[in-house]
Chains A and B, each alone.
Chain A
Amino acid sequence: MSLNLCAVFAFFFVSFLPGVTVWAEDLNIYFKTTPRIELLRPYADPANMSLLITGADGRPVKQGVVDIRLDAPEPGGFFSTDFPFVEGTRLSEMRMELRQGRANWKFLLPIRGEYRLAVVVRTADGGKASKDFKFNVRENQKKWFALTGFSIGLFLLGLMAGRVFTAVPKSAMVVLFAVALLVESSQAAEPPRIPETENAGLEIEAGTVGRPTAVRWFLTNAEMAAKPNALLTLTITHLEKEKIAFAVERIPVGNEFSMKFQFTDGAEYRVVALAEVPGKPPLRSEKVIGVTAIEPPAKASVPALAYFVGLIALGLGAGRWTKRRAVVP
């Protein structure tokens, strides 16, 4: 019996020995956003996201790759967000090479809630570490103000109607409400205008809200592809909102870079890739794609509509009560 036990231990020891890796204890992974996480808001300006990977000695890891996966907040609570199909889905998935232990990218966060960022680092010397980060993005305050104003308007509408329906006097009232719309705009930075090249290509799957879309940039020129040493700047811009939805700047890539990215709004996006290959003029590729929108499920609309109708009903009750209280001595 004990001999068998020893054999099992020996088997596992021998099996796992070649796969020994340096785990999270030897590599530190730090995540930072600019602006700070508390100041991030959905569909405001894109957040600068940054990962720093250091060794046990605190020095940045010189060479390695990092796999990054960003998941949207899970659906929860009574109300849905304004993009229900994005809730609980994968927003982006990509692999980046580390530069001085860092990986930086820009991302436009689409909804409020708790995001999950999974990071797996593999260093050139076989080290490996992973870490999950969770960060909470609060809703834009202007939206809460708009919702409060709209709710008060509906309550007052119900209140007036309640008073009219209870009224003894034969007067009619017409109540008009105007809701101020909040429209904000900001200018997205344009990449430098460089003529498009045929030495590089850009492939983008048909985009649909709710599922990640494959985005691939590659060198088509055989001479350049043979000596891959390019720095890639990739920018995805939401054309209607004129905001950068995603961007990486001068990241080292081989002869191709691929990622999965979810276009969270059913609108037009422009994808621009600008590659710098040593000794060659910049290579620019551009595509404008239309993303297929998906109708939100009815169950996502029901809570909001029930809330609004409930407010009117509450107003009706309050109107009747105030009218009766005024008439009955």
Chain B
Amino acid sequence: MEKIIAIWLGLAVSEPTSFLIKSGIFLSVCGATLFVALAASYPAVHDTLHNVRHALAVVPCH
């Protein structure tokens, strides 16, 4: 269905390009999530995941 709409709107892209776009968005979301979980200093997040950060050996914490 989304392909039909995309073609109708003239937004159709090749399969490799589609994969790259999806992957790029996915990686951005994952990177942002990892940043918040492992590197952000928001007290609520930090306090909850403090032990996880230390348990991973390579994630800096204070």
Interface residue count for B (Cβ, 8 Å)?
26
In whole angstroms, how far apart are the Cα atoms of A147 and B55 in the complex? Answer: 8
Q: Are A82 and B53 in contact (CB under 8 A)?
A: yes
Contact residues in A for B51 (Cβ distance below 8 Å): 181-183
Q: How far is the CB of B33 from chain A (nearest CB, A)?
A: 10
Chain A interface size range = 35 or more
Q: Is A83 an interface residue (CB 8 A)?
A: yes
In whole angstroms, how far apart are the Cα atoms of A266 and B61 in the complex? Answer: 10
Contact residues in B for A183 (Cβ distance below 8 Å): 51
In whole angstroms, how far apart are the Cα atoms of A301 and B58 in the complex? Answer: 8
Contact residues in A for B27 (Cβ distance below 8 Å): 309, 312-313, 316
Contact residues in A for B54 (Cβ distance below 8 Å): 43, 82, 143
Q: Mark A181-209, 1 if CB is under 8 A from B, else 0.
A: 11100000000000000000000000001
Q: Are A144 and B31 in contact (CB under 8 A)?
A: no
Given A81-B60, A147-B58, the answer on whether A181 and B52 have CB atoms closer than 8 Å is yes
Q: Are A84 and B26 in contact (CB under 8 A)?
A: no
Tell me the dominant secondary structure on chain B's binding face.
helix
Given A165-B19, A165-B26, A179-B52, the answer on whether A305 and B34 have CB atoms closer than 8 Å is yes
Q: Which residue of B lies closest to A143 (CB)?
A: B57
Q: Is A79 an interface residue (CB 8 A)?
A: yes
Contact residues in B for A82 (Cβ distance below 8 Å): 53-54, 56-61
Sort A-B residue pairs by CB-CB distance and give the 5 closest, nearest first: A296-B60, A143-B57, A79-B58, A293-B62, A301-B39
A residues touching B (Cβ–Cβ < 8 Å)?
43, 79-85, 112, 139-140, 142-144, 146-147, 150, 154, 157, 161-162, 165-166, 179, 181-183, 209, 265-266, 293-298, 300-301, 303-305, 307-309, 312-313, 316, 320
25 contacts between A and B (CB under 8 A): A80-B58, A82-B60, A83-B60, A83-B61, A112-B57, A143-B55, A143-B56, A146-B56, A147-B58, A162-B23, A165-B19, A165-B26, A181-B52, A183-B51, A295-B41, A297-B60, A301-B38, A301-B39, A304-B39, A304-B59, A305-B38, A308-B38, A309-B31, A312-B27, A313-B27
Given contacts A146-B55, A304-B39, A304-B60, 18 further A-B contacts (CB under 8 A): A79-B57, A80-B58, A83-B62, A140-B57, A146-B57, A147-B57, A150-B56, A154-B30, A179-B52, A265-B62, A297-B60, A298-B39, A301-B38, A301-B60, A303-B58, A305-B39, A309-B31, A316-B23
